[in-house]
Every structure is written in structure tokens, then in C-alpha cells.
Amino acid sequence: MADKSRVARYQADRTNQKFYFCRIACKLAGETADKQLYQAHCETAIFHLQGALWAFLQELAHFYNLDTSQPSIDYLENALDKKTLISPELQRLKISLESGVLANITKAYQRCQYAPATDSNNLSTSTQDLIVNVVTLSNQWLPDEQTIREWRTEFMSLVDEMRGGMVEY
């Protein structure tokens, strides 16, 4: 049983670590005047928030004794259905992914993954031109560090509430 507690603690620590890394990235973003460095720190913060979601899904998988290292909401739901279990945590995550803080984080994460569309329809744009274009384009699509901080706080509160309801049975 002590071994199980150690693993559970690691899972929670990993989620908390992602929140901590997000906080550091936001702090660094707030301290820089360089536009590209600011964007890099904000994107890093968003990546860590997305990582916190994945880490929390792993935490849930461990809590429900599901054998997986890369869980998704669909995987967890299917695995719990097989055990005839229901997870109120997954229901709350799904709601937040549809229209809450997790929807905002996921959208920002997806936008960070793709280069902004160019104004030109010219398909012969070289890779060098694309790199210059990405670096010099406005980052208006990127949330500022204060918004990311608010998302972090809201997501941490959601996780804390769910952890409070997770009772070993």
C-alpha cells in the first residue's frame, strides 16, 4: 500500500510541477520587453498548462487503477465503462474542455502548434521566408501572460476541487 501512495504522490507532483513551470514562464514573460522572447515564454506557459492536463489525466488513470501511460478522456471513459465505474472528474473535465478554462487552454495550445497563415497564395515560399514571417508577424492571437496566469489559477482550482472529491474506495 505504501508503494501505491508513493506512485499516487508522484502523479500529483507531476501535475503540480507543470503548474509551477507555467508560473515561471509567465513570470519571465512579464519581465521581458523583447517581443519574440515574450511570445516564447507565453507559448511555453501554454505548453505547460496542456502538459498539466495530460499529467492530471495520468493521475486519474492511476486513481482508478487503469493501466496506461498516455491516457485521454476517451480512453479513460472506455476503460471505466469496462469496470462499470463512472468518474465525476472526467465529466467536469469534459465540461471545461467544451466551454471552460480547458477549452481556452486547448485552443491556445492548438494555435501555438501551427504557423500563422501567410497573406500570399504563393506556394513557392521558401522555408527561410516562412521562418522570417513567423518571427515578424504580430502575436495578437497569443493570450498575454496575465490571461495565462488566470487560466492557470482557474485550472489549479479545478484540479484541487477534483482531488478533494477523489476518495480511495
How far is Cα 23 from Cα 40, in angstroms, rounded to an integer?
Answer: 14
Mean pLDDT check: name the lowest of 87-91, 105-109, 162-166: 162-166
Number of helical (H) and strand (E) elements in the chain, helices listed first: 7, 0
Spatial contact of 96 and 103, defined as CB atoms under 8 Å apart? yes
The answer to whether residue 9 scores a pLDDT higher than 90 is no
* Residue owning grid cell 512579464: 30
How far is Cα 84 from Cα 70, in angstroms, rounded to an integer?
Answer: 21
The answer to whether residue 155 scores a pLDDT higher than 90 is yes
pTM of the predicted protein model = 0.80
- Mean pLDDT across the stretch 28-33? 96
The answer to whether residue 146 scores a pLDDT higher than 60 is yes
Spatial contact of 55 and 11, defined as CB atoms under 8 Å apart? yes
Percent of the chain whose pLDDT exceeds 70: 77
**Pick from 104, 108, 78: nearest CA to 90:** 78
Q: What is residue 130's predicted lDDT score, i.e. its pLDDT?
A: 45
- 60-77: per-residue pLDDT in tens? 999 999 987 778 999 999
Distances (CA, A) of 12 to 1, 43, 142: 17, 23, 28
